[in-house]
Structure 1
């Protein structure tokens, strides 16, 4: 996310997800097990505790001390085979962050070559698209500007966001602060206060239709720069899809990018999952990122 743009998350509305049927969900969650002969590589925290053997944490790691996480067992891990300077031990746990390469059958990871510390390895480029928080509307004549100073403050901004979120066809909202000169500041400390000026932002709100009516209603409460644009799916539809994805094998996390109109999904491996989700929900509605990727033969 851009340093000077925030995505506003609104309450989920009770609207059914588009193109969702129990049969199609089952086609995804009942996917075949990974090919045990495929060699994968990725970076993750290797964690061993008093209760578990070595495990490969590919998802979130709790920032406690020692950290806490879980994942598939690593069948042939040995701390004796990695540099002792690359891991820590405390309270019965031992952990470090490593680049691993090996086979994965959906339950157990087996190293096929020695692990290397992520501290000494340049990670490969990640195929990840950052959300686009620019304003899709053409700037008005004379550029983005305040039209009613009395309605250009934090309270008015929050009222506009609440009004938008209450609409059944609401698709998301975000703030574009690129018009604020402080966005070019060289340090966060220098820009922090200046970036909170409601008169120097463009409020972006998306709906799936009736844009003129929505813009007129928002103008009743918000006097700053405003861009009302059209989206294909409501936020509620995207969040309903997000809720369905938690049962996918190898699920690590999911979120909604309303500025892009997509659901982002993080999984252990993509064994054709992106294609199956494109067929189920429509191409590009769900964007898959895998923690483990196949090694080119």
Structure 2
């Protein structure tokens, strides 16, 4: 970071010789990719600058995917000590075409997404889990492909300015945050993950956004 900046201008904390801020600030300036330097042309602000369009937050829902979640199970089943869930999680990871899973009640109503036969997956999971269970078939990228694509990115993440990446089991999508989403970087990312994912299965977010004037 270059330009007129002082730690006195932000709410900062220091520990072990490291200084940081937990606040969110907007900076306007120019980024030089070769030197990896961002030069401020205006002071930092707690408010976004005029002309900047902030992305709308996505509504994340965790719906129950079936009407009969105790089919083949037991509605009286409880797992207060969470002793049964490790076996379920292990079985999930080995499901053919496993995309992801979530709990719709925040506790133990499991909803599972697969690319394979949902009835086969349901029967396999019932061997270790008698509680709430819904299985739905999706044409999304399976978790194994998302993880393989993420691993491929790690070999060039510094070169591309990748800040973070991770699979989204709800959408079968690989979420990637990068420093600058210029055309060449985006194309390089898609080429790197193309053995496993289509461009539609990759969500790229740029930390730096062009400012409309």
Output the TM-score relative to the length of structure 1. Answer: 0.55
Pick the aligned partner of 1:270 from 181, 194, 198: 181
Pick the aligned partner of 2:89 from 148, 161, 177: 161
User: Do the aligned partners of residues 264 and 205 (structure 1) sit closer, same or farther apart at CA in structure 2, a change above 3 Å counting?
Assistant: same
User: Map of 1:124-143 to 2, 5 A cutoff?
Assistant: 125-127=54-56, 129=58, 131-135=60-64, 137-140=65-68
Output the TM-score relative to the length of structure 2. Answer: 0.74
In structure 2, runs of 5+ residues without a counterpart are none
What's 2:164 paired with? 253
Query: How far apart are the structure 2 equivalents of 1:93 and 1:161?
Result: 38
Query: How far apart are the structure 1 equivalents of 2:90 and 2:123?
Result: 15
What's 1:236 paired with? 144
In structure 1, runs of 5+ residues without a counterpart are 1-73, 178-194
What's 2:32 paired with? 105
Q: 1:228, CA displacement in angstroms?
A: 0.8
Q: Does the aligned pair in 2 maintain the 1:150–1:223 contact within 8 Å?
A: no
What's 1:47 paired with? none
* 1:171 and 2:99 aligned: yes
Q: Does the aligned pair in 1 maintain the 2:77–2:130 contact within 8 Å?
A: yes
User: Map of 1:1-297 to 2, 5 A cutoff?
Assistant: 74-79=1-6, 84=8, 86-88=10-12, 98-106=25-33, 107-112=36-41, 114-118=42-46, 121=47, 125-127=54-56, 129=58, 131-135=60-64, 137-140=65-68, 144=69, 147-149=73-75, 151-153=77-79, 154-177=82-105, 196=107, 198=108, 202-231=109-138, 232-246=140-154, 247-248=156-157, 249-272=160-183, 273-274=185-186, 277=189, 280=194, 281-297=197-213
User: Do the aligned partners of residues 86 and 169 (structure 1) sit closer, same or farther apart at CA in structure 2, a change above 3 Å counting?
Assistant: closer
Tell me how large the CA RMSD over aligned residues is: 3.1
Q: How big is each residue's C-alpha offset from its partner over 1:238-262, in whole Å with a ceiling of 9 and x where there is no partner?
A: 0111122232411100111111101
Q: Does the aligned pair in 2 maintain the 1:203–1:226 contact within 8 Å?
A: yes
Q: 1:166, CA displacement in angstroms?
A: 2.1
Give the structure, 1 or 2, with the largest relative contact order (CA under 8 Å, sep 6 or more): 1
User: Do the aligned partners of residues 127 and 105 (structure 1) sit closer, same or farther apart at CA in structure 2, a change above 3 Å counting?
Assistant: farther
